Amino acid sequence: MIGDDNTYLTNFRSRLELPGIIDVHTHFMPEQVMAKVWAYFDSAGPLVGREWPIAYRDDEQVRLKTLRDFGVRAFTSLVYPHKPDMAAWLNEWSADFAERTPDCLHTATFYPEHYADSYVEAAIERGARVFKVHVQVGDFHPGDPLLNPVWGMIEDAGIPVLIHCGSGPAPGEYTGPEPIAGLLQRYPRLRLIIAHMGTPEYSEFLDLAEEYPGVHLDTTMVWTDFTEASAPFPTAEHGRLRALSERILFGSDFPNIPYSYGHSIFALERLELGDSWLRQVCYRNAVRLFDIT
């Protein structure tokens, strides 16, 4: 299957004359944290909600080679805390990871805690290029007052924040579009990347993208057979996918996906939004947003 994927993805890139694919939504994390994440998926716990066999459960070096063999030129190492006193340590790890992995965009994260501004400032100084927030796993309100200095700093720095804030695969107390709408009212210049196109609140998050020019969306898991079975994307919104083509970025959730990597790209191709849409989504938009050379 993976061999077939390599052929499929090579043909995809050469047909579109793309130098590579940029995947804004991949996970690399400390080994013991990844082991816990995998154990959680294996248990089909309440935040996952269904059976979820992980397709790329390999050692870190194998996973890196797999991604590069797929033609992925740049990617992220999205880490996220589920409790206090964890984010600063995760940030140290991902800064080191980015140093030894030049094709990985240096990623950082934060949690509502009194010293969040100090480690976020340190991460920005060290060159963080994307922040990750997971509202459901973190179980905090994105507008928590403890985060005011953090959002202000990140808005001023213009660094994108990839935020899992939709209510899929299972809702949390603070998931959904309302907390994000409130956040954007206060910080309208924020560059947000709404993970999973906001699954399942697709239309509401497209509304926010229309209203705020800094709002982007990532395609992670959307339009795959897996997601279409539980949270189908409304075909009535295809017009807005075209209109917002500059704001949509390819993401995969590698390695934690229950199907082959190529299927994530195939899911975009079969939308039939055209080659130039695919070029923007799979490469050009990320080059521009992250200033990738």
Note the residues at the interface with Zn ion (CB under 5 A).
253
Residue nearest to Zn ion (CB): 253
Give SS3 for 143: coil
The total of other beta-carbon atoms located within 10 Å of residue 35's CB is: 12
CB of 180 to Zn ion, least distance (A): 17
Residue 18 or 104: which CB sits closer to Zn ion? 104
Q: Name the DSSP class of 283.
A: I
282 CB-near residues (< 8 Å, 6+ apart): 16, 18, 21, 22, 250, 265, 268
Q: Name the DSSP class of 254.
A: B
Give SS3 for 194: strand
Residue 23 or 253: which CB sits closer to Zn ion? 253
Residue 116 or 133: which CB sits closer to Zn ion? 133
* Contact (Cβ atoms closer than 8 angstroms) between residue 132 and residue 160: no
CB of 43 to Zn ion, least distance (A): 17
Residue 5 or 253: which CB sits closer to Zn ion? 253
**Tokens encoding 59:** 């050692």
CB of 221 to Zn ion, least distance (A): 8
Q: How many Å separate Cα 284 from the centre of its chain? A: 16
Q: Which amino acid is at 171?
A: P
CB of 127 to Zn ion, least distance (A): 22
CB of 27 to Zn ion, least distance (A): 6
**Tokens encoding 225:** 């057979």
Residue 13 or 261: which CB sits closer to Zn ion? 261
Residue 164 or 191: which CB sits closer to Zn ion? 164
Using the CB atoms, write b or e for 205-219: b if 16+ within 10 Å.
bbbbbeebebbbbbb
CB of 78 to Zn ion, least distance (A): 6
